[in-house]
Each structure stands twice: as C-alpha cells, then as structure tokens.
Amino acid sequence: MARGRGRLKILGQGWSLSELSAETGADAARSDPPRHRAHLLGVGVGCVFLTGFCELPTPSGAKTMASPQGSLEFGGPLGAAALMLVLPATMFHLLLVARSGPARLLGPPPYLPGPEALWSPRALQLVLAWLGLQAALYLLPARKVAEGQELKNKSRLRYPINGFQALVVTTLLVGLGVSAGLPLDALPEMLLPLAFAATLTAFVFSLLLYLKALVAPASALAPGGNSGNPIYDFFLGRELNPRISSFDFKYFCELRPGLMAWVLINLALLLKEAELRGSPSLAMWLVNGFQLLYVADALWHEEAVLTTMDITHDGFGFMLAFGDLAWVPFTYSLQAQFLLYHPQPLGLPMASVICLINAIGYYVFRGANSQKNTFRKNPSDPRVADLETIPTATGRQLLVSGWWGMVRHPNYLGDLIMALAWSLPCGVSHLLPYFYLFYFTALLVHREARDEQQCLQKYGLAWREYCKRVPYRILPYVY
C-alpha cells in the first residue's frame, strides 16, 4: 500500500518478510554476527530457566517469600517463567499485527521475524543513548528533593523531583533535533528492532540487579522476590530500592525513559502519518493528546509515585525493568501504531464525546489520587479535613468518604475510563486497539487484589470495616 507523499507498508496482504527486513534499517541486513548473539542469548535464557526449575524452594534453606498471604505471587516460579516468555512474545505479536492488513488481535502474526528483522546495532545504540540522556537529566539539579516512605530500618531515601523538567528539556531537544533534520519519521519502521533492543537491555539490566542484590544487606531486600528460587526472584526483583550512590534505578525507570519514549513514539507515528497523508488524522491527534496528558500528569505529580506498591513493596526485577523500558513504550503506543496503518474516519461530534469520556476519566483519576496524596501528606489540610475517616491501629487513618467512599479504588476506575477513551478513536472495526483496555483491566484487578492483601495485613480489622462500609472495589454496584 503506497499512498500520499510517503510509502506505507502493510503486512499480511501479500507483503513479504524480505521486504520488511529491507526496510527495518541497513544494519538488519548484516545478519551473521547478530544470529550468533541471538543463539547465545537463547542459551543464556534457557540456562536461567533450567536452574530455576531445578531449584524450586526447599523447606529448608531458602527464605520463604514474604507475600502477605505467605504464598508466592504471580503463580510462583512457573507463573514467573511463563510471564517472562508471554509478555515479550505478546509485545512482538502486537507490533507485528498492528501493521498487518487484517490487524487481528487473536489471529496468528503475519510472519515470524528472523534475527535480521529483530537485531540492529543501531537500535541498541539508540536505546542506550536514550537511557543515557534520561539518566543525565535525572542528575540535573532538582526543584525539590522528596523523602520516600519509611524503610524497614526506619530511614527514608531521598528522591529528586525533576521528572517534568526532564520532559520539558527532552521536548526542546527533540524539537531542535527535528528542525535540524533528525529523521523522527524513521522511527515507526524501526519499532521491531528497537523493542528487541529494549527487551535485551531490560534482561541484562535485571540480571545485573539480581547479582547486585546478592551482596545487598538483608534490610535492603524487598518483602517479595526473595523466595530462594532464582527464576521467581529474578522476575519479581530482590532488592527494594537498588541504588548506586543517590541514583535510584527503580524510581528512574518507573517514570522517565519508558513514559517519555511512549510519547516520542506516538509523535513519530503522528509525523509519519502527516508525511503519508498530508496531515495527521483527528483520531491520531486525540490519541497523542490524551496520552501526552497522561504522561505529563505522571511527571508533574512525580512525588506521588513514591507511595505506589512498585516503589514501596515490589523489588526491582525483570517484571518492572521490562515493563518500564519495553512494555510501556512499545505496547502502550499500540493505538497510534494501529492508526498509522489503518486510518479511521472520526467526525467532530464523536470526537467531542470521546474527549468528554477522557475528561471524566482524568477528573476521577486525578481527583482520587490527589485526594489520597493530600490526605496522606497532611490529614488536616482544609481540602480533606472534613472527610470521614476510619482510625487504624497503625495511627494512620483510612478515608471513607469523598472519592475513597465511592469505591475502594476510584483511581483505577478513572484510569480505566481513560483507557476506553484512548481506544475509541480507533473505531470499532478491530479488537486490536482495545488490547490496552483488556490488559489494563486484568492488571488493575490483579493489582487491586494484591493491594487488598497488603492493606489487610497492614490494617487488619480497620480494613475489614472499610470493606464493609465501601463494598465495591472498582466499579460501583458491579465489582
């Protein structure tokens, strides 16, 4: 399919793999050394898996995992191993299917990419340069330094609050780059090798984190992720806040490189569409605008991430490293990828309705998150002082009116409403752009269950009382 001023290749309708490989960068064509590396990687992954299954936790020796229920989360080592294969496979499936003609979420991929379509030294260089740039921006003087939650040893870590500043500087640099001829519109053709390089980076990074945790003091270990089973612990992450000096790897990865890469990929897809069709479509503008708002909001409220379970409870392992560095940018940009290859007509009335849905979602999401954060920072703040609360034995209180009196996770509800608004511009002819909504519902339902267990353990009877007073979890009168 070639239209407009540029050329757009769509797979699965007579386009061949060799045609795609020829376009995924000149580096991809030089296939011999990469093929060896890919084999080595496969052998390496295989070894870790085998070791993990041979060393299932024994009653003696291994420390038991400290999930509140005393059982292993995510289905234990088998579940962790399955997720380590299924998550990257899903990401590559989505990348391939988004540009295929039929764009079937549940069908087979249009082809299986060979090493030459996946491996590109240039893609790896780009991923590493991006991480380097974001790390340098992290180290710039911050407008504020925030303290995290209290740790096991009663200390608190300090975190720079300069994520939004990093977004502004990145935007300026990208703007300068594009006006100086940086070919951002080449990015859509490189998504596959970039995603592969990001996955490889996340894998190697998780391995280093795992090794680092072997010499970390017991007080630095996460409540989960220390079962003694290498596969499970590699997946969940052993160390809670791995750092070198004041550089906090988990906090850095959670908000910056992945979220900013996501909006950069969206922008590249928008520019490519403009090049191909003369101007970006209304649907593409909406998807770009909504997701940029979400990312800018996350960075503006950066400090709030310090109270999420990812920072306070989960270790830093493959799940978060892959999630932050590969899954978020390459999967969360799925709607924009789909729109580039499957343009959708969208009229102003429908666009207005979708904007309203996104605005409602954002209002609930931001209202709920800000209300809880304000309350946790200072319960006497006039904005929350009048809300009804339940006292707990820990001295902390639970909100039982306002947003948190409506359902037990109003912020998840708002997030899900926004997820719907991000998919609707893609029309209803395909299931594929709704993948994010399905995945996110599953993620939040599972996350909610994990949080409930943690809260039950923290607050005991007070939590039970809260559940009685606010019986619904996410969706009023339904769930």
Ligand X SMILES: NC(=O)C1=CN([C@@H]2O[C@H](COP(=O)(O)OP(=O)(O)OC[C@H]3O[C@@H](n4cnc5c(N)ncnc54)[C@H](OP(=O)(O)O)[C@@H]3O)[C@@H](O)[C@H]2O)C=CC1
Ligand Y SMILES: CC(C)=CCC[C@@H](C)[C@H]1CC=C2C3=C(CC[C@@]21C)[C@@]1(C)CC[C@H](O)C(C)(C)[C@@H]1CC3
Please state the closest distance from residue 327 (CB atom) to ligand X, in A. 9
Torsion of CA 49, 52, 53, 55, to 10 degrees: 160
Binding window for ligand X (CB under 6 A); candidates: 176-184, 240-248, 350-358, 404-412:
404-412
Residue closer to ligand X, measured from CB, 344 or 389: 389
- DSSP annotation of 221 reads B
Torsion of CA 212, 213, 214, 220, to 10 degrees: 130
Q: Does 415 bind ligand X (CB under 6 A)?
A: yes
The residue count for binding ligand X (CB under 6 A) is 21
Exactly one of 252, 322, 404, 466 binds ligand Y (CB under 6 A); which one? Answer: 322
Is position 447 an interface residue for ligand X (rule: CB under 6 A)?
yes
| Near ligand Y by CB under 6 A: residue from 48, 87, 96, 220 | 87
Which of ligand Y, ligand X, none lies near 473, with the C-beta cut-off 5 to 8 A by kind?
none
Tokens for 445, please give them: 């339902």
Residue 50 phi, psi dihedral angles, 5° rounding:
-60, -45
Backbone angles phi, psi at 158, to 5 degrees: -110, 140
Q: What is the identity of the amino acid at 176?
A: L
Strand, coil or helix: what is 301? coil
Nearer to ligand X, 239 or 415 (CB): 415
Work out whether 255 is an interface residue with ligand Y (CB under 6 A): yes
167 lies in the binding site for ligand Y (CB under 6 A): no
Nearest distance in Å: CB 262, ligand Y: 9
Smaller CB separation from ligand X, 140 or 309: 309
User: Which of residues 230 and 329 has its CB atom nearest to ligand X in the complex?
Assistant: 329
Contact partner, 327, from ligand Y, ligand X, none, Cβ < 5-8 Å per class: ligand Y
- Report the first-to-last Cα separation within the chain, whole angstroms: 45
- Decide: is 301 part of the binding site for ligand X (CB under 6 A): no
The option from ligand Y, ligand X, none interacting with 87 (CB < 5 to 8 A, set by class) reads: ligand Y
SS3 of residue 244 by DSSP: strand
Tokens standing for 451? Answer: 């949080």
CB within 8 Å of 19: residues ≥ 6 apart: 9
Quickly count: other Cβ atoms within 10 Å of residue 18's Cβ.
12
Of 104 and 447, CB closest to ligand X: 447
CB 463, CB 400: distance < 8 Å: no
> What sign does the CA torsion over 107, 110, 114, 117 have?
negative
d(CA 258, CA 60): 40
Interface pick for ligand Y out of 328, 399, 419, 455 (rule CB under 6 A): 328
Residues that bind ligand Y (CB under 6 A): 87, 254-255, 298, 305, 308, 310, 319, 322-324, 327-328
Residues that bind ligand X (CB under 6 A): 307-309, 365, 369, 372, 376, 396, 398-399, 404, 409, 411-412, 415, 443, 447, 451, 454-455, 466
